[in-house]
Structure 1
Amino acid sequence: MAENFNFQDIVKKSVLNLEAFRNISYIDVFVGLLSAFAIGMFIYWIYRKSFRGVVYSYNYNVSFVLMTMITALIIMTISTNIVLSLGMVGALSIVRFRTAVKDPLDIVYMFWAIAAGIASGAKLYPIALLGSLLIGLTLMWLSRRKIKDQPYLLIIRHSSIAADEVRQQLRKLDYRLKSKTVRKEFTEITVEIRLRDDNTAFVHDISDITGVQDASLINYTGDYAQ
């Protein structure tokens, strides 16, 4: 005679018997965590190589490795018992992260680490490894394209006698005027230019103009300058 099980019977069986914990394979746990660690280290390496911000944070980068392993551990835990999965959902719902993420690309790395941890914890190793490899290659390719055409801020402080010569030098560059400050002693202008190589000889040409007090070239990333 077939037995009819409802949701309440399944929960009771999950709580009382805990049969899933008796069938835990420590080899699968080790392989899952090892896969998560390897992918986390790959994320760590990609983030370090493709970082284009102002201040590199070692602790933030290391958190990707731990995030991948912890996510895999959570997935392996909640997949063994329905009660634990419901309890984990309730526990995570009260967690609030208040750390400000200044670079939107950092959120991509967070989701990458979480997704790789979920795939490793669910024993979907081909998806975790192949997917992480393609994502890493894509990020490296996009970061290299960004290097070829980087924006810079050129700040020039000069007197009135150098205005015409400075203007002639700027016509040779593809520039956009960002700001201009006029004082009695000098005039300071800030222009945005884009360079495809490391040829910055024009800065010396501008600084050699009579009446130019100083000329500074700063790498500009949109929100920060370095």
Structure 2
Amino acid sequence: MDTINFQDIFKSKFLEQTSSFSIVDSLIGLFASLVIGLFIYWVYKKTFTGVIYSHTFNISLIVMSMATSLVIIGISSNVLLSLGMVGALSIVRFRTPIKDPIDIVYLFWAIIVGILSGAGFVPLAVLGSLLIGAILIFFGNRIKVENPYLLVVRYNGHSIEKSLEHVVSENSKKHTIKSKSVMPGNEYEVTYEIRVRENDMSFINNISEMDGVRSAIMLSYDGNFTA
């Protein structure tokens, strides 16, 4: 009858599977993904042209590159683990909306860096990141995004609509009506999408001084509007 001792208990496939684990290679991959992730962080902050800069999103790019690298290092020496990881990730649902298409580019860039660093292709990750970063900086500094504004005017009676339309058309390069609401008491609220000339918004003072205008508000607009 065979007996089981402590040596047989601790001698398992777990130790055999981790015997090929290289701490040095893993640290190199994680450190490379960290450094390149910091580079992605810097490029995103330098080239950001949106309305509200999200620091947490930028930090997540660094963490995403390192986490992806960690996953690739773990599954590179174990086929069963790789299949299990694919199954686990298939049930994950990301519900955070991405409004700017360029944010998807940075997400994809961070993931690719993590994959290449975890697989040991650090020179390729560095070279590709330098080239991508140079392209983003080159075009980011030359393409100026002209964000429109929303002008929300609340007024009494419809007799000033033509005067209001005249003032808006005279002081904007382009304008369109996004919504118009009629409220009790013969009160109206109209929302214009406006592209102003040379960021000159002084005409809003003229609108607020018009007879019948109760309020005039100018808001920065990123292209998404919900009535």
Q: TM-score, normalised to structure 2's length? A: 0.73
Residue in structure 1 matched with residue 20 of structure 2 by the alignment: 21
Q: Which amino acid aligns with 1:178?
A: K
Residue in structure 2 matched with residue 65 of structure 1 by the alignment: 62
Instruction: Work out the CA distance in 1 between the residues paired with 2:112 and 2:221.
Output: 32
Structure that is richer in helix per residue: 1
Deviation at 1:63, TM superposition (A): 2.7
C-alpha RMSD over aligned residues? 3.2
Instruction: Work out the CA distance in 2 between the residues paired with 1:18 and 1:182.
Output: 71
Change (3 A) 1:142 1:217: farther
Deviation at 1:186, TM superposition (A): 2.4
Instruction: Work out the CA distance in 1 between the residues paired with 2:113 and 2:53.
Output: 26
CA contact (8 A) 2:49 2:145 kept: no
Which of 128, 138, 160 aligns to 1:162? It is: 160
Deviation at 1:178, TM superposition (A): 1.2
Change (3 A) 1:66 1:148: closer
Counterparts of 1:1-226 in structure 2 under 5 Å? 21=20, 24=22, 26=24, 28-49=25-46, 50=48, 52=50, 56=54, 58=56, 60-79=57-76, 81=77, 84-95=78-89, 96-104=91-99, 105=101, 106-140=103-137, 147-160=144-157, 161-172=159-170, 173=172, 174-183=174-183, 184-195=185-196, 197-223=198-224
SS in 2 for 1:209: coil
Deviation at 1:133, TM superposition (A): 3.0
Deviation at 1:16, TM superposition (A): 10
Unpaired runs of at least 5, structure 1:
1-13
Aligned residues: 206
Instruction: Work out the CA distance in 1 between the residues paired with 2:202 and 2:106.
Output: 37
SS in 1 for 2:83: helix
CA contact (8 A) 2:154 2:214 kept: yes
Aligned-residue identity in percent: 34
Change (3 A) 1:202 1:43: same
Instruction: Work out the CA distance in 1 between the residues paired with 2:204 and 2:134.
Output: 35
Change (3 A) 1:143 1:74: same
Unpaired runs of at least 5, structure 2:
1-12
